[in-house]
Each structure stands twice: as C-alpha cells, then as structure tokens.
Amino acid sequence: MTIEYSSNFVRSFRRLLIDIQRLAIEQERIFRLNPIDSRLHAKPLRGRLKGLWSFRVTRRYRVLYAWKAKNSALFYEIEHRRFVYQ
C-alpha cells in the first residue's frame, strides 16, 4: 500500500499530542496491511465530502483520505472529528 500525505495532513499531524501521533502511526500500519480492517471503522463520506473516506485514530480523531488507485491512498487531513468534516 502506497500512502501520500498532503501538506495539511503533515501540518496537522505535527500539532497533535505525541500520544495521538503514536496511535495514528499504529492505525496507519493497520491501514497499510488491510484498509478495510474493522478496527479502523473506515467509511465513505457523503454530501460535499463525497469521494473521500475516513477512519478512526481514536474515538475523537479521524483521518480523511482518498483512493488514488487500488493500492494507493492520499491522506488529506488528521483532526478532531468536530473539525475534520468542516
């Protein structure tokens, strides 16, 4: 699995608490092995975010991403769920 990172994702990741960063790295590892693993709670988004997907880092934090190809994804954002969908 190939993952690319947007500049927004990198900036947001750096601002996270170190504990959340560690959890995000672990969730990314799971994503690389199996992007539909039930531990990720991955789902396609609707409405104005149609075409993007999200998965959980914690109950409060989400990663927004898009599929570029069958085995390639672009991570757009990582943020608290209150803000990530805005």
Note if the pTM is more than 0.75: yes
Mean pLDDT over each residue of the chain, to the nearest integer? 96
The pLDDT-based confidence of 86 (bands split at 50, 70, 90) is: confident
Helix (H) or strand (E) segment spanning residue 61: strand 61-69
Collapsed DSSP state (helix, strand, coil) of residue 24: helix
Cα–Cα distance measured from residue 19 to residue 52, given in angstroms and rounded to the nearest whole number: 26
Domain extents in the chain: 2-84
pLDDT digits (tens, 9 = 90+) for 51-80: 999 999 999 999 999 999 989 999 999 999
Architecture of the domain made up of 2-84 = 2-Layer Sandwich (3.30)
Rounded percentage of the chain residues whose pLDDT exceeds 90: 95
Cα–Cα distance measured from residue 21 to residue 44, given in angstroms and rounded to the nearest whole number: 23
Collapsed DSSP state (helix, strand, coil) of residue 81: helix
